[in-house]
Chain A
Amino acid sequence: MASADALLLRPAPGGDPRATSRFRAAGLGAALFGVTVATAALVANIVAGAWSDQAGRAAQVARIDAWSFGLNTAAFGVLKLSVAIVLLGILRQLWLRVESVKAALPSLAGVGGGPVPIQAGAEDTPWGAATLSSTAPKPMLVHRLARVMWGPSLAMGFMAVMGGLVLAVVQATKVVSDPALAGHLSAWVKGIQFLGEGFLLAGVSFVLGSILSSLRAGGGEVQESAGVVVKTLRMPATAKAFLGLMMLGLMVEVFQFVVYVATTSFSTATAAAYATWLGPVREAGLGLILSGIVLALVTIGNVLGFQFSRITEIVRTGR
């Protein structure tokens, strides 16, 4: 099946590597917009703080508190989407790099001692264990999953965050006229927006997984096209931990959403006690996914180190 990843992000052969990336420009533009929105939420917080010790301002403060939470979380959503857009630019640029290396390597490769028979096997490298083969490796299940899932995950996350913003605005209008409904909406806003944040970060993780997939496939293609043994790093422990942390974090976000929704049927006092620990739990969930993203980036750094070492070896020895 031709995934969105393949259709959108692998340029046709002959693509111009000199061309500037539209993903990069779009991502930076969206990120600047996100910070502008976050700054508006900051101003709202400053005003709410100043009014909070003035008599007769309680309703206004509660209204600002409601919509500024939704607005700020939406700003974070835009910023995370920006990160994903620039990562897609990296993915596309990596494929252009593969084409460039494939074109250049035959002319740069050293003569060495002539062709040698290629035998499948394994090898230890400073970057971890590598497999040896004569052809480029096939994508692993997690890579196929990442290439299919990044789009839906980002779309669901962004819709949830924006849906939460709409609910936050409605909540702000009900603070005085219907405080009970406003309390329920507050729980929905927090639950759904942080679920959305979780999906957005999961989408970022899937794009990082797609980058790892393209590095693996592209590295194999380059070596295979040069007629040398194809060396591919085995999945490192950091990549396995990345997957575990991402899934755990996403489960925490689903859990907090379910519990927030459940609190709408609790008494006010019980709901307040639940909200006390749900706040840090929802943030810890995001922290887990962010920690996974750190490990994905570290894995990408290691794979790049391995690939540069391999290209250097081919240029020096022709093997």
Chain B
Amino acid sequence: MASTRIRADFDVEVSDGALGYNLPQRLGRALWLPMLAMALMAFPAGVVLSAIRAHAIATGGSPKAIAELGQFSIAANFVGFASAFAAISFAIARILGAFRVGGGHVQEAAGRPVQTLKMPLTAKVFLGLMAMGMMTLLGAVALHVAIGASIAGGSTYALGHVAQWGFWLEGARRIGIALYLLGITFGLATIVTVIRFQSVRIVELVHVPPPVVSERQPT
């Protein structure tokens, strides 16, 4: 397989046959469903925990129980958000995989050299932002669980600082979601680039004669 810059408009790699999925695309194909399932379980868990907490508030429950339930409820909800956004990101990677493999198969069937777009910068930014968003959200979730566990363990220090930590963790959660959404925008922008390349490439195939006698031609 040759790997060289052969055209000015797009950075491609050239091969004789269609390339397979790259690692992020394989991960996307394997992980979108588990992530979706986790999201669909986490959100109801958050609602149930918050309903128990609301009952405790309405019936004059202990401040300790109310505070710890508050932490666990937020943690469950943001496991849900982290999973849902991860599932979206993996589904986008899966779409990019469909373009990579499918576009290669069409060129291969036409008996032409297969040009495949190298991973664009927007795709790398997409992956980086997705990882940052996920780590930020899961870090906030871990801290919420730790605070909730500390309160449950009788820590008066944690109970006294729950409002302050709440502000900081709320900020962390928000920026985590913002990073995820920015990453998703970059992932979708990559799809625009890929479609643009493939639209140009398929027209080129007509003007580029097959280098050898094609298998589909009768012998």
Contact A86 B95 (CB under 8 A): no
Q: Tell yes or no: A164 within 8 A of B by CB.
A: no
Contact of B91 among A35, A41, A298, A308 (CB under 8 A): A298
Asked whether A131 is an interface residue with its Cβ less than 8 Å from the other chain, the reply is no
Per-position 1/0 for A75-93, Cβ under 8 A of B: 1100110110011011001
Choose among A38, A53, A80 the residue that contacts B174 (Cβ–Cβ < 8 A).
A38
Cβ-defined contact, A276 with B57, below 8 A: yes
User: If A284-B43, A294-B88 touch, does A316 touch B109 (CB 8 Å cutoff)?
Assistant: yes
Chain A, residue nearest B29 (CB): A301
A100-B199, A110-B216 given; A284·B192 CB < 8 A:
no
Cβ contacts under 8 Å, B103 to chain A: 308
CB pair A32–B182 under 8 Å, yes or no, is yes
A305-319 to B contact mask, C-beta < 8 Å, 1/0: 101110110011100
Question: Are B188 and A87 in contact, CB atoms less than 8 angstroms apart?
Answer: yes
Chain B interface category by residue count: 35 or more
Q: Tell yes or no: A28 within 8 A of B by CB.
A: yes
CB distance from B23 to the nearest CB of A (A): 17
Docked-complex contact B182 and A31, CB < 8 angstroms: yes
A15-32 contact mask (Cβ, 8 Å, vs B): 1 or 0: 001101101100110011
B20 within 8 A of A: no
Q: Residue A103 at the B interface, CB < 8 A?
A: yes
Q: Is A280 an interface residue (CB 8 A)?
A: yes
Shortest distance between the CB of B27 and any CB in chain A (Å): 14
Chain A residues closer than 8 Å to B217, beta-carbon distance: 111
Is B184 located at the chain interface by the 8 A CB criterion? yes
With an 8 A cutoff between CB atoms, is A171 at the interface? no
A79–B177 Cα gap in the complex (Å)? 10
* A97: chain B residues within 8 A (beta carbon): 195, 198-199, 202
B196–A27 touching, CB < 8 Å: no
CA distance A101 to B54 in the complex (A): 58
Whether A86 and B185, one on each chain, are in contact in the complex, defined by CB atoms closer than 8 angstroms, is: yes
Q: Is the interface of B mostly helix, strand, loop or mixed?
A: helix
Contact A27 B46 (CB under 8 A): no
Residues of A within 8 A of B46 (CB): 280, 283-284
Nearest CB of A to B48, in Å: 9
Contact call B175/A42, Cβ cutoff below 8 A: yes
A133 within 8 A of B: no
Closest to A75 in B: B178
Say how far B89's CB is from chain A's closest CB, in angstroms: 10
- A–B complex contacts, Cβ < 8 Å, 27 sampled: A17-B199, A21-B192, A28-B185, A34-B181, A35-B179, A38-B175, A41-B174, A42-B172, A53-B163, A76-B177, A93-B195, A93-B199, A94-B195, A96-B195, A101-B202, A104-B206, A108-B202, A108-B206, A276-B57, A277-B50, A280-B73, A283-B80, A284-B44, A293-B88, A294-B35, A294-B84, A308-B101
**Which A residues fall within an 8 A CB radius of B?**
17-18, 20-21, 23-24, 27-28, 31-32, 34-35, 38-39, 41-42, 44-46, 48-50, 52-53, 61, 65, 72, 75-76, 79-80, 82-83, 86-87, 89-90, 93-94, 96-97, 99-101, 103-104, 107-108, 110-111, 269-270, 272-274, 276-277, 279-281, 283-284, 287-288, 290-291, 293-295, 297-298, 300-301, 304-305, 307-309, 311-312, 315-317
8 tightest Cβ-Cβ pairs between the two chains A and B: A308-B102, A45-B171, A49-B167, A17-B199, A297-B91, A38-B178, A79-B181, A276-B54
